[in-house]
Amino acid sequence: AQSVTQLDSHVSVSEGTPVLLRCNYSSSYSPSLFWYVQHPNKGLQLLLKYTSAATLVKGINGFEAEFKKSETSFHLTKPSAHMSDAAEYFCVVSDFFYGGSQGNLIFGKGTKLSVKP
C-alpha cells in the first residue's frame, strides 16, 4: 500500500536562507512523486514531479527535489527562501499504473512554510 509522510507540519526560515521540506514515502511499485504548493484560498500548483528519470528533479521557482530509493525519501529544497514562498506544500505519491484503487494519488498532510523577513 502506498503512503506518504511529511515529517514536519510547520517549517519556519528566514528570507535568503535554505529551505528543506522532508517527505518519506512507501510504495509497492515504482512510484511517481510530486510536490505541490498551495497558497491561501487557492488550488494546488505543481512544483515538480519524479517519474523514474533523473533522481534530481528541478521544478519551478528554484525548487528541486532528490529521489532517494534507499531512504524512500523525496525531500524538497531551495537554496534561498523568498517571502513569496510562504505557503503550504504537499508531497504526493502515485503508483504506476494498476489504476483503480482510490485514485492512486496519496497526499501528505502538508507542511506550512513560513518565511521571516
Partner 1 sequence: KAGVTQTPRYLIKTRGQQVTLSCSPISGHRSVSWYQQTPGQGLQFLFEYFSETQRNKGNFPGRFSGRQFSNSRSEMNVSTLELGDSALYLCASSLGVTGTGGNQPQHFGDGTRLSIL
Stretch near partner 1 under the rule CB under 8 A, chosen from 18-26, 29-37, 63-71, 79-87: 29-37
Contact 21, 111 (CB under 8 A): yes
At its nearest, how many Å lie between partner 1 and the CB of residue 62? 19
Element (H, E) at 114: strand 111-116
- Answer positive or negative: Cα dihedral of 57, 59, 64, 68: negative
Taking the complex as a whole, how short is the minimal distance between the CB of residue 115 and partner 1, in angstroms?
A: 21
- Residue numbers of the site for partner 1 (CB under 8 A)? 32, 34, 36, 41-46, 49, 51, 90, 94-105, 107-110
